[in-house]
Amino acid sequence: MVIVEDIRQSLILAWRALMSNKVRSFLTMLGIVIGVSAVIIIMSVGAGAQSLILNQLEGLGSDLIAVLPGQSDENGPPSQAFGITVTTLKYSDAQALQQAKNIANVQAVNAYYQVPINASWRNNDYDVSLNGVTTSYLDVENGTVEQGRFFTDEEFNSAARVAVLGSAVADELFGSTDPLGQKIKIKNQTLEVIGVMKSRGKVGFQDYDDQVFVPLIFVQKMIAGVDYVSFIRIKLKPGADINQALEEARQTLREQHNIDNSVDDDFSVRSFRDAVAMITTITDALKYFLAAMAALSLLVGGIGIMNILLVSVTERTREIGLRKAIGATSNQILRQFLLESVCLTLIGGLLGIASGIAVSYLVAVVANLLEYKWSFIISLSALLLAVFISIAIGVIFGLYPARRASQLDPIEALRYE
């Protein structure tokens, strides 16, 4: 009971000392407030951004396999990620993957050639992503035509000048006018609008509503003048073995490219499941690295608290001498100053948590207003860790000033001017 009473009295004295100079106390704990709030914000925003990315990828479907041009390490990014144009994939590769008898897991295959370009109708123009695809596009991407129709195999093979518009493109170019049957111009080529896609929004870092879909052969011959494709996607049958499908796709492409050794592969085959796992690993590492950098401000805040407490010890030397003269022990003096330090950091930590949660919530609200699937995530473990770190900083950086105060000689302290 005596120890509890001593701690209670020390807390009262510590609180009075802090309240006697409110501005200095607030400025002292400001470093802790900023540090803790920065850690909370980074952890929360990082988790929200991670959920956004994973939601976008999962929106594409976990039953997809992507074939990308150029070789890459199994766990590393493909060559295209570095802005390198690789021309090793052809439309014939997509045909081989669709027709290969050994790939029993395949439901549909689509080849893509994408290029940013300007589309116009009368006096209206709009920057779009021109997407050359095959007739399997709707099956692979789970797309839906809201008005009109998609192009046929005959139109594809003849490189017909037809286009299916994303909903945003139709709105921007035609407004209230019915786009079906209208002619749009793309790079001096006139195309007939035969359909409008159902709005899909942003999925997998692509805005599907800002795209124009045309036959792949038409884009290759009349727009880009190339004989290669940007990438290929394979949709698997329900319940398919993804690992088996990946290996079978690699074997088919090696036969297609006359490759005997896997080290000579000029393509990369990835499942979207692997992409989700890779991005989760990368974003986790980035999130914790940034949190560690933000936590450095806690070190600065701790040093500031130690300096202020040293000044406080000097200012209150006569008070310390008087307390010792009337019976206060060194442990009681040490406890009082240590509790002052812990109170400063704990209050600063709680304020930092409150401000960090508020800012994180505001970021989530703004992101959702911008139509991003952003989750507001606050980890209980992060909050408890912030409180623990705040107390630990108070103890660590308050210990030296507290020991210095407790070791003052009472006679010398009373003589101090």
Instruction: Flag whether pLDDT at 83 surpasses 70.
Output: no
Q: What is the CA radius of gyration of the chain?
A: 33
If you average pLDDT over residues 379-403, what whole number do you get?
Answer: 80
pLDDT at 135: 93
Q: Is it the case that residue 282 has pLDDT exceeding 80?
A: no
Name, in order, each residue with C-beta under 8 angstroms of 271's C-beta and a sequence gap of 6 or more: 62, 64, 65, 66, 242, 245, 246
**Would the pLDDT of 385 be above 70?**
yes
pLDDT digits (tens, 9 = 90+) for 193-229: 999 999 887 765 678 889 999 999 999 999 988 989 9
pLDDT of residue 43: 80
Amino acid at 233: R
Which comes out higher in pLDDT, residue 272 or 258?
258
Beta strand 202-203 pairing with 64-69: unpaired
Residues 6+ apart with CB under 8 A from 204: 56, 57, 59, 60
Confidence (pLDDT) at 161? 94
Query: What mean pLDDT is predicted for residues 323-352?
Result: 78
Pick 156 or 400 by higher pLDDT.
156
pLDDT winner (highest mean) among 131-135, 271-275, 276-280, 313-317? 131-135
The residue type found at 381 is S
Which of 302 and 223 is assigned the larger pLDDT?
223
Q: Is the dihedral of CA 389, 392, 397, 402 positive or negative?
A: positive
Stretch (H or E) spanning 228: none
Cα–Cα dist 105/375, whole Å: 34
Q: pLDDT at position 49, please?
A: 77
pLDDT band at 136; cut points 50, 70, 90: very high
Q: Which of 126, 92, 87 is nearest to 109 (CA)?
A: 92
Tell me what pLDDT residue 2 has: 47
Q: How confident is the model at residue 165 (pLDDT cuts 50, 70, 90)?
A: very high
